[in-house]
Amino acid sequence: MFKNLIANSKNLSYKMSQEATTLLIPGPVRLSPHVQSALSIQSLSHTSPEFVTIYQRVLQNTRRLFKADVKKGLPIVLAGSGTLGFDLVGANLVSPKDEIYVISTGFFSDEFAECLNGYGANITTSRGPVGDIPDLNLIKKTLQENKFKLVVMTQVDTSTGVLNDVESICKLVRDVSPDSLIVVDGVCSIGCETLEFDKWGVDFCLTASQKAIGAPPGLSIAMISERALETALDNKASVKPFFSSLIKWSPILKGFEEGRASYFATPPVQLINSLDVALDEILEQDGGLDKRVQTHEEKSNWFKSKITNELGLELVSQYPQNDVSAHGLTAIYVNNPPQVISSMKSKGFVIAGGLYKGIASKYIRIGHMGYSVCNSDAEDIVKCYAALKSTLQE
């Protein structure tokens, strides 16, 4: 349980909320005490040696987070929501009439497609049944019959809890259409699922700070490959957004990564300081990133097994047969989701409702990412399960 500290701005005093609540939505997630503390540093000059050291370490660790080459390509950490990552792709890698293939597994894949369509791209979409991933043979056939500039997929669609088979799709694209740039939305996967940027040949992977990375919301985080960066820097599109331009950001981010202060737009120093601590917790603590992914899988499997075997509920994502379920959240069909959510809140657990068209009113989503599952003495998900069991038996 964690007591939310809410600012009472009317009298400028702060009080610990008397109501202890545990945040278990699929992002933002509960912060570790160190990540939370790191937020409230005094403002620093964005060009000071102190901040350069922090930002440099964050950019270097961002490469490690994605398992990307230590030299090639560019790590990106900017003020913005995860959604800004869609625009980083649209503004830098898309020109009008470009052919783009979107492999959709839910609401966020569709949002990404809508964003890229806004940059004038022609979108071809493949999707499986709700809760499943599209068939690899269909993807192969589509790749063989078309020439796509980008192939776009969502590793974990937060709306359905479906985990796409990014590794296999990457292999297909490299075999069948090696010139296509591979773009992965890793918003709900980076930090809790396996992603091998270099090994799998990913060209652009975007994520956000507030999910499995365990930092506060407000940072758009991404990694771009060397060949995709070349495409971005050679951007011939007639309309070029400014804040999302890698032509603008590339020298700035390279400068900071090499320890030189540089200026294009003021970075959010407190959020970046907090991310620095979160990345340290992921990469340096408790066995590092691989162990962290394994922990998420174990906790997720325990939770999903209880939900399906003991409570007899059905998940939105296929499970356990032909399992395509993500390990950072669980989407569960229930009767009367608003009542379940309300009852869980009265028991101290903040969970989320459904989000995907057609089924949004039929399910709940419970997040189990970051500190809530990685902290060895945290029992958030165990207690949440007990509360859910009790709620459903009421």
Instruction: List the interface residues with a copy of itself, window 71-110 (CB under 8 A).
Output: 78-84, 86-87, 90-91, 96
> Which of 128, 217, 251, 348 forms a contact with a copy of itself (CB under 8 A)?
217
Q: Does 120 bind a copy of itself (CB under 8 A)?
A: yes
Interface stretch with a copy of itself, choices 126-134, 135-143, 241-249, 297-305 (CB under 8 A): 241-249
Kindly state the greatest CA–CA separation across the chain.
65
Q: How far is the CB of 301 from a copy of itself (least distance, A)?
A: 25
Q: Residue 365 annotated as binding?
A: yes
Helix, strand, or coil here: 167? Answer: helix
Q: How far is the CB of 112 from a copy of itself (least distance, A)?
A: 9
Q: Alpha-carbon distance 44 to 2, whole Å? A: 29
Q: How many residues bind a copy of itself (CB under 8 A)?
A: 89
Q: Alpha-carbon distance 285 to 272, whole Å? A: 19
Q: Does 70 bind a copy of itself (CB under 8 A)?
A: no
Cβ atoms of 76 and 223 closer than 8 Å: yes
Name which of 37 and 309 has its Cβ closer to a copy of itself.
37
Other CB atoms within 10 Å distance of the CB of residue 83: 15
Q: Alpha-carbon distance 208 to 222, whole Å? A: 8
Q: Alpha-carbon distance 188 to 217, whole Å? A: 13
> Which of 118, 259, 288, 320 forms a contact with a copy of itself (CB under 8 A)?
118
Q: Alpha-carbon distance 391 to 64, whole Å? A: 41
Cβ atoms of 55 and 272 closer than 8 Å: yes
Q: Does 216 bind a copy of itself (CB under 8 A)?
A: yes
Helix, strand, or coil here: 307? Answer: helix
Interface stretch with a copy of itself, choices 149-157, 240-248, 303-311, 380-388 (CB under 8 A): 240-248
Name which of 91 and 202 has its Cβ closer to a copy of itself.
91
> Which of 144, 146, 168, 266 forms a contact with a copy of itself (CB under 8 A)?
266
How big is the CA angle at 149 (ends 144 and 152), to the nearest 5 degrees? Answer: 85
Name which of 31 and 139 has its Cβ closer to a copy of itself.
31
In terms of Cα–Cα distance, which of 204, 232, 245, 221 is closest to 55? 221
Interface stretch with a copy of itself, choices 188-196, 274-282, 308-316, 327-335 (CB under 8 A): 274-282
In terms of Cα–Cα distance, which of 207, 209, 222 is closest to 268? 209
Q: Does 31 bind a copy of itself (CB under 8 A)?
A: yes
Q: How far is the CB of 85 from a copy of itself (least distance, A)?
A: 9
Name which of 79 and 176 has its Cβ closer to a copy of itself.
79
Q: How far is the CB of 153 from a copy of itself (least distance, A)?
A: 18
Q: Does 193 bind a copy of itself (CB under 8 A)?
A: no
Q: Which of residues 296-355 bind a copy of itself (CB under 8 A)?
A: 350, 352, 355
Q: How far is the CB of 86 from a copy of itself (least distance, A)?
A: 6
> Which of 178, 234, 239, 377 forms a contact with a copy of itself (CB under 8 A)?
239
Cβ atoms of 300 and 380 closer than 8 Å: no
> Which of 104, 244, 300, 330 forms a contact with a copy of itself (CB under 8 A)?
244
Helix, strand, or coil here: 149? Answer: coil
What pairing do the DSSP bridges indicate for beta strands 181-185 and 150-154? parallel
Interface stretch with a copy of itself, choices 4-12, 66-74, 300-308, 385-393 (CB under 8 A): 4-12
Cβ atoms of 60 and 244 closer than 8 Å: no
Q: Alpha-carbon distance 183 to 101, whole Å? A: 10
Q: Which of residues 42-61 bind a copy of itself (CB under 8 A)?
A: 42-48, 50, 54, 57
- Residue owning tokens 């229930």: 334
* CA distances to 84, 227, 295, 331 from 207, in Å: 10, 20, 20, 20
Per the annotation, where are the binding residues? 365
Per the annotation, where are the binding residues for substrate? 365
